[in-house]
Structures are given as structure tokens and as C-alpha cells.
Amino acid sequence: MTHYLITGGAGFIGSHLADALIEQGHEVTIIDDLSTGRFSNIQHLVDHPNFHFAIDTITNVVVLDRLASMCDVIIHLAAAVGVRLIVENPVHTIETNVMGTEAVLKVALRYRAKVLLASTSEVYGKGNRLPFKEDDDVLLGPTIHNRWAYAASKMIDEFLGLAYYQEKGLPVVVFRLFNTVGPRQTGRYGMVIPRFVQQALNNEPITVYGDGKQQRSFTWVGDVVEALTNLAENPAAVGKVFNIGHQKEISIYDLAKLIKKLTGSQSEIKLIPYEEAYADAANFEDMQRRLPDIGKISKQIGYQPSIDLEEILKNVIAYHKE
């Protein structure tokens, strides 16, 4: 039995990961300040003898140290998430991502815990060589655009994690997520699928930002969780960076149409200019495409997405109907 510490463990991905690890017979501790996570996501685990939790921030080093001292593996998911939060709260974004990761790596080194470090497709910036490979060059936008603060902060996280591996021998694995979706995800911070689904089910206008031609790929949370548990148990993954995503793309406008069809909604699909969507739209830049190359992780642990977008959407719609 391995003892895992999940930072951000009451969040969307973290809570699903906790479920899976408990089911596999492991011991799980989570820490979450509930800024974007929800206690209801882990409520069902509270009485389980192998589950422990602390409602606190990872920058509380006393609490983090106590939790880490009992753990073998730390899966670091705590971060500022969602485009809206990132654009409108840049100080919180930078501080949470950089200082939080530094705190986790320091405490992991103290107790020689393995670290799985969450990163993002955003680090590929304005790259147009598709699909994105882990060793591609990166082109970011100017510092006056808050969007890039998030990308840069996650790049610092990666640099820091890999430096701890290279210089101090700490076992670190970096993984870059591409639009993970599933039950428990909220549309509160700009997450597109739960937002569209809620609008469609309420027969409200489905609000597509920009021209809707921007394309994204979406990954089932269960596939991400399985990838993380496999990476955690794979010694040869240490010191490497992996994309975790799906290779099928859809435009955001077509996504809205598909959700409208699957929900049987009467909603109109409405294009909203970025100036109306974001309070600080002058500092916002959107990316046209975000498509991962998953060859590396496939070779390492046999990762392949198990379900396609339509099935993902049906699951999410069922969850929101409940």
C-alpha cells in the first residue's frame, strides 16, 4: 500500500484521483483550501479509514510538512485554474502556482517523496507546430497579457521540478493536461463544457466567446486518473515530461451545437465578443488550437483515451441532470 498526498484533492481531478486510489487499496491524504475545490467532492470519502484531509493552503508549510512526512508520493494538482480566474486574478495565479510548487518540492525533498507535478497545454503558448510534442520550442505572448502569466508560471513549475530532479535527485514526473472534463467540474471559472451543458439544460443562450472557430480536444477525467496512477508506479517515468490528452479536435462552435443536440435544448447559440466576456479583455489572447502528441506517454505506460467526445458529453449531461 502506497500513501499518496494529493494537493488540490477536493478539486475536480483531485477528487476523482482520490476515489481511484482508495479503490485500489492505497492510503490517501488530501490538502485543499477550497478556493476552487469543493468539500462535497470528497464528502463520501470522509469516513473511509484510508482517507485523511486537511482544509488548508499548501503555502502553510507547517501543515504541508506534517502531511508530507507520512506520504510516499505527492501528486501536486493545486493551482489557479480556469481562464476567467487567470485573466482577472493574475497576482493570485502567479503566487499560487510558483510559491505553491516551491513549497511542495521543498517538503518532498525533506522526506524523499516522489512528486507528480501538474502542468498544462498552455505552456505551448503560440506554438503552431501541431500536434504539440513535449520537447517543442515555446513562443509566449507579451507580459502585458495576463494569459501568459499562467503559462509562464507553469513553465517555472516545470523548470523547478526538473531542477530538483537533476540537481538534488528528487524523483519528479511532469504531466501536461489538455482540457480534462467529467462530472464535478464546474463552469464557474470559464470551463467550457460544464458552462455549455448548464446553459443548454436551462434553455438559456449557449454563449460562445470570440468567433467559435478556436479548436480544442477534450479528455475524459477517468483516462487522466488512470494515466496518473500508472505514471506514479512507473520508475522509468521519473525526470520526464508527458502530455495527457485526446487527439480528436472540435471547434468551440461545433461543440456548442453538439451539446445543444445531445440535450435536446431550445437554446440559441450566441457569439460573445471577448470584450464582453472578460473584464480585462484588452489583456486577453486566445489560442486557435491545442492538440497533444501522445506518443511519448503511450510508449511509456500504454496510455490511450478510452472514450470519445460524444460519450464524454453524455456522461457530463447525465451528471448535471442529477
Residues 83 and 123: their CA atoms lie apart, in Å, by 14
Question: Considering the domain boundaries, does residue 172 fall inside one?
Answer: yes
Question: Considering the domain boundaries, does residue 74 fall inside one?
Answer: yes
CATH label of the domain that carries residue 48: 3.40.50.720
The pLDDT score that the predictor gives to residue 82 is: 63
Question: Considering the domain boundaries, does residue 260 fall inside one?
Answer: no
Residue 187: how many CB atoms within 10 A of its CB?
A: 17
The pLDDT score that the predictor gives to residue 147 is: 79
Percent of the chain with pLDDT over 70: 96
Looking at 200-288, which runs of residues are DSSP E strands? 206-209, 215-217, 219-220, 241-244, 249-251, 269-272
Total tally of structural domains belonging to the chain: 1
Question: Considering the domain boundaries, does residue 152 fall inside one?
Answer: yes
150 is catalytic: yes
Question: Considering the domain boundaries, does residue 211 fall inside one?
Answer: no
The pLDDT score that the predictor gives to residue 240 is: 98
Exposure class string for 133-169: b at 16+ Cβ within 10 A, else e: ebeeeeebbeeebbbbbbbbbbbebbebbbebbeeee
The residue range of the domain holding 224 is 3-184+219-247+288-307
Catalytic residue among 4, 150, 165, 209: 150
Exposed, middle or buried: residue 49 (CB in 10 Å: 0-12, 13-18, 19+)? exposed
Residues of the chain with pLDDT under 50: none
The pLDDT score that the predictor gives to residue 307 is: 95
Are 44 and 18 a contacting pair, CB within 8 Å?
Answer: no
The pLDDT score that the predictor gives to residue 188 is: 75
